[in-house]
């Protein structure tokens, strides 16, 4: 394939997201279209709802009425997706969908990127970006899921915890 697969957003009838995703996946299997349609995703978030019976954790759709599809846009793949019952169309201008940008994909958290950090809790690090650039501190906590690191920085004679993105710090040897 000369063209690379990109993420597209498909609009569906409300409540049909799971049906649409399942139907597309079955169609890909049946017609052997793995080279055209790579992945179908419904972004979900875990939410804690407080009810009369106490807190309850539930999975909720981030974008009700929408399904994300990683595919190579051809006439065949477009027809497969567009003719699924419950699909109202691609998000974009006209009939063709507009692929999501790298920034949008990262913001949605659709594709998990493996981040390798060269430091661990207790290591000395230098802040490389942001308001505290060039400050030194000690790693207090690392949260790979949220792409965050908490660094304790000494400012004005006080120890201050600062939350930063994983790529805003680098290890230093003192």
94-145 tens-digit pLDDT: 777 888 888 887 777 666 555 667 888 999 999 998 888 999 999 999 887 7
CA 30 to chain centre: 28
From CA 9, how far away is CA 85, in angstroms rounded?
16
Rounded to whole angstroms, the Cα distance separating 3 from 76 reads: 14
- Which residues, in sequence order, are bridge partners of residue 153? 137, 160
| Unique residue bearing structure tokens 């120890």 | 159
Nearest to 17 by CA among 85, 110, 100, 80: 85
Its pTM stands at 0.62
Domains in the chain, please, with CATH? Answer: 6-108 (3.30.70.940), 124-171 (2.30.30.30)
Give the tens place of pLDDT for each residue, 3-61: 688 999 999 998 999 999 999 999 999 999 989 999 998 888 778 878 788 888 888 88
């Amino acid at each position: 394939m000369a063209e690379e697969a990109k993420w597209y957003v498909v609009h569906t009838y409300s409540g049909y997201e799971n049906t649409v995703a399942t139907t597309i996946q079955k169609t890909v299997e049946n017609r052997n279209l793995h080279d055209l349609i790579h992945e179908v995703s419904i972004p979900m978030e875990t939410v804690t709802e407080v009810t009369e019976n106490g807190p309850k954790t539930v999975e909720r759709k981030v974008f009700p009425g929408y399904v994300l599809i990683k595919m190579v846009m051809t006439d065949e793949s477009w027809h497969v997706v567009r003719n699924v019952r419950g699909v109202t169309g691609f998000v974009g201008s006209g009939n063709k969908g507009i692929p999501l940008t790298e920034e949008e994909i990262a913001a949605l958290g659709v594709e998990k990127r493996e981040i390798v950090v060269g430091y661990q809790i207790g290591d000395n690090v230098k802040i490389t970006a942001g308001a505290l650039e060039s400050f030194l501190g000690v790693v207090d906590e690392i949260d790979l899921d949220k792409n965050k690191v908490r660094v304790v920085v000494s400012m004005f004679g006080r120890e201050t915890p600062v939350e930063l993105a994983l790529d805003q710090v680098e290890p230093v040897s003192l």
